[in-house]
Amino acid sequence: MMHLIVSLTSLFPALGMVLSARPDAGEDDKAAVTRVLTDYYNAFSKLDVQAILPYYHEPSLLIGPGAVAAMPTHAAITATFTPAMEGLRARGYARSELSMLHVKRLSATTTLASGIAVRYKADGQELERVGVTYLLHKADSGWKIAVLVAHDTLYNSNR
């Protein structure tokens, strides 16, 4: 049997990479992505654009109900998020939590994560819920958000 595996890996090098991968690598990646998104939500809760920039890949893509915007640099992200954060501040925003998180590893360097962003006011009252889906890319510096999609929360509740 081992001879067959060696023969197959010489014919299909990609198979050799799969066979040599650690079986728990996907679980490690899921935990790492969950940690990155938790840290991102803590940073976002400060409503400081500079605090969230390290979580975004350059370039990245933002997709919302009314628009698709390419973010080639962190300067573009800053220009987009600054008014959004100011709007949240004006509405009494205090913090966000990511709930109902589903993480699916697509490859060694790509992971899909989807959940619901729950935003709260300072008094603990819920401000709003937004469905969010992230496509994260594993770069040399770790997992980064490459695509952010804001959508209806119904997408997540029917999974």
Q: What is the pLDDT of residue 153?
A: 86
Task: Say what the pLDDT of residue 88 is.
Answer: 96
Q: What's the pLDDT score for residue 19?
A: 36
pLDDT at 72: 97
Q: Using alpha carbons, list the distances in angstroms from residue 61 to 42, 48, 53, 128, 146.
A: 21, 20, 13, 23, 6
Give residue 26's pLDDT: 62
Task: Walk along the chain (159 residues) in steps of 10 and give the mean pLDDT of each run.
Answer: 37 38 63 96 98 98 95 97 97 96 96 97 96 96 97 64
Q: CA-to-CA distance for 112 and 104, rounded, in angstroms? A: 5
**Domains by residue range for the chain, with CATH:** 23-157 (3.10.450.50)
Output the pTM of the full model.
0.80
Q: Do 71 and 61 meet the contact criterion of CB atoms below 8 Å apart?
A: yes
